[in-house]
Chain A
């Protein structure tokens, strides 16, 4: 190693130091803290704690409330993710095909993203009111029975899922639109020459394969966003009725800041972190393989 090389390394280290320090202080150290807390029975604000090994992790599988919360989260993801991805794809293709009005539709579908969710949740609350709500007024006008959307345990989670789709749809549509814009027009002409000049043929032969990287990205982002759903639960249902809409992040918040059980909350946080990290790693590795091909 010669002098200039060493010099370059020193400068490189110096330049990386600020970002590295921030990363360590804001991300790595707290994560290590959470990891350590997950092995204790620490109660928020109490002077001491004991090490309890993996007991908190065992609770994730044995505690009925936490299990229900994890199950609800999965159910929510299964309801929201596929719908918001495929509907967004369909919308994007329709909007792209629609010449002049395209940008109008695009704005309409994107609006929920720009609104503050807490304010919008309150609007939903009004619309879904069990007696006076607009939705129930419409239902009874058509002769259907009224639904207690957010207070009936059978409908509460599904109602949140609908709001979830509404919230995320515009964002996904926008990503797909961006993806569609990058597809080379020549490919469609080439496909037409090969006989694929109908809508479906063009879609399966050109559009869908060309959108693969975007689809992968949208899928991962959507999954992470669904798993970390919190606001609608906190604002609209508080996890109720009787825990029917408890989801992982809301449970984490409750365990930590209402029951003061930092140990269990940390174990949940670690589990959540692992999951998100796993998804991201899958994405990156698939992405790189796609790039190489």
Chain B
């Protein structure tokens, strides 16, 4: 009898997980530890809505590259995270390794347009015409500026220049204010996105429509020359981004370029020590473009139940409400059409957050290099551009060198 009771109890314990069979556990990995706060908040809200889904975050990777390495490694061990926020330029790396499958199965029957995703937004998550993911965040580059310094130098902080010529002229004047004040800093960032953006201001992609490397074209060379002019004429110092940003926060730098994703950081770091603004990117041609980029969200799990839950989570995070929340937390552009209404008041009161969405009509779509050498190409571009900054190469020499080095890397697979 005792034994019977014991075994009954045991079956009861064993049966317990079966009771909670509907429970789905999802592991999520995203890059950039500073994003953990809002990522967690979205997951928390989602779980409140979907009590049967439990989301656990892996420790965030320090940048997009590390995140990709971590996923590849975990995939080799047979247990990748179920959901991954991948740097927009790195998505093809997942596809060529067969780590990610298209979303066709879970997207079936959903009217994506009605849910607030435009054709262009959906395209950002496609590789070779297949929908592998959705954009989770989207950003463009903006011009941050110190209003006091601009005013002191004779500029109009409410009407910043819209051309590179005008911007350089203004920066020159700011630089001449003296007492450790510097005119301008255009960051090269962590990959080649900021250089893509320089090219975009002259209206071209890193690989032109007829398959040429931008640095080999006249338009591309002109764009790279802008960077040299920033150094030689406008007072950009060849120092690390972190050091320049500290100068900006200290009120010693006039104009600074970076992703609009850091608008919130500017808010926090500068507070009301001095007035600052975020203006649209200047153009080189009559009407230049801006580069866009961000992170895509993909489902790595192959389990149907998990894929379904993961897609619900993705729809929640890319939905109107969550995207509006992310926009307030960072400065990212909401990718959902429904967010605009929700952000109306906020944008009215905080115009610096609206600069990036405002220039969306001239943004080029996400770009990644053909083949699997994108990261290496990024490094080459950053190294050669740094050489221009340090005066080791002229802009034209760098353009020629980058073309030579990149060519074999995009031709061989």
Contacts and interface: CB of A to CB of B under 8 A. Distances in A.
A45 B243 contact: no
Contacts of B99: 45
- Chain A contact-residue range equals 20 to 34
B375 interface: yes
Contacts of A150: 240
B118 interface: no
A259 B378 CA distance: 10
Interface string A228-253: 00000000000011110000000000
Interface string B155-195: 00000000000000000000000001000000000000000
Contacts of A254: 379
Nearest to A237: B240
Contact of A241 (B65, B98, B373, B390): B390
A130 B237 contact: yes
Contacts of B93: 260
Given A47-B98, A130-B237, A259-B373, A242 B390 contact: yes
Contacts of A47: 97-98
Contacts of B65: 258
Interface string A126-140: 000111100000000
B34 interface: no
Interface string A254-293: 1001111000000000000000000000000000000000
Contact of A259 (B73, B180, B375): B375
Given A152-B238, A258-B379, A259-B376, A131 B392 contact: no
Contacts of B97: 45-47
A240 B383 CA distance: 7
B247 interface: yes
Nearest 10 pairs of A and B residues by beta carbon: A45-B72, A242-B383, A242-B386, A242-B387, A130-B239, A259-B376, A241-B386, A151-B239, A45-B97, A257-B69
Interface of A: 43-47, 125, 129-132, 148, 150-153, 240-243, 254, 257-260
Interface string B250-291: 101000000000000000000000000000000000000000
A243 B250 contact: no
Nearest to A255: B376
A283 B75 CA distance: 42
Listed residue (A43, A131, A254) with the most chain B CB atoms within 10 angstroms of its CB: A131
Nearest to B241: A151
Majority DSSP secondary structure for residues of B touching A: helix
Contacts of A259: 373, 375-376, 379
17 contacts: A45-B76, A46-B97, A47-B97, A130-B243, A131-B252, A148-B238, A151-B390, A152-B238, A240-B383, A241-B389, A242-B392, A258-B65, A258-B69, A258-B376, A258-B379, A259-B376, A260-B72
A147 to B, nearest CB: 11
A151 B242 CA distance: 11
A171 B379 CA distance: 36
A152 B246 contact: no
A130 B75 CA distance: 42
A43 B76 CA distance: 12
- Chain B contact-residue range equals 35 or more
A119 to B, nearest CB: 16
A190 B379 CA distance: 64
Contacts of A257: 69
A131 B384 contact: no
Contacts of A125: 242
Contacts of B246: 129, 132
Given A131-B180, A242-B384, A151 B243 contact: yes
B372 interface: yes
Nearest to B389: A241
A241 B73 CA distance: 29
A9 to B, nearest CB: 40
Given A44-B72, A153-B392, 14 more contacts: A45-B76, A46-B97, A125-B242, A130-B237, A131-B180, A151-B243, A153-B390, A240-B383, A241-B238, A241-B389, A242-B383, A258-B375, A259-B373, A260-B72
B75 A152 contact: no
A132 B253 CA distance: 13
Contacts of A44: 69, 72
A152 B392 CA distance: 11
Contacts of B387: 153, 241-242
A43 B75 CA distance: 14
Given A45-B99, A148-B237, A148-B238, A131 B247 contact: yes
A163 to B, nearest CB: 16
Contacts of A43: 372
A132 B251 CA distance: 12
A129 B383 CA distance: 21
Nearest to A259: B376
Contacts of B98: 47
Contacts of B76: 45
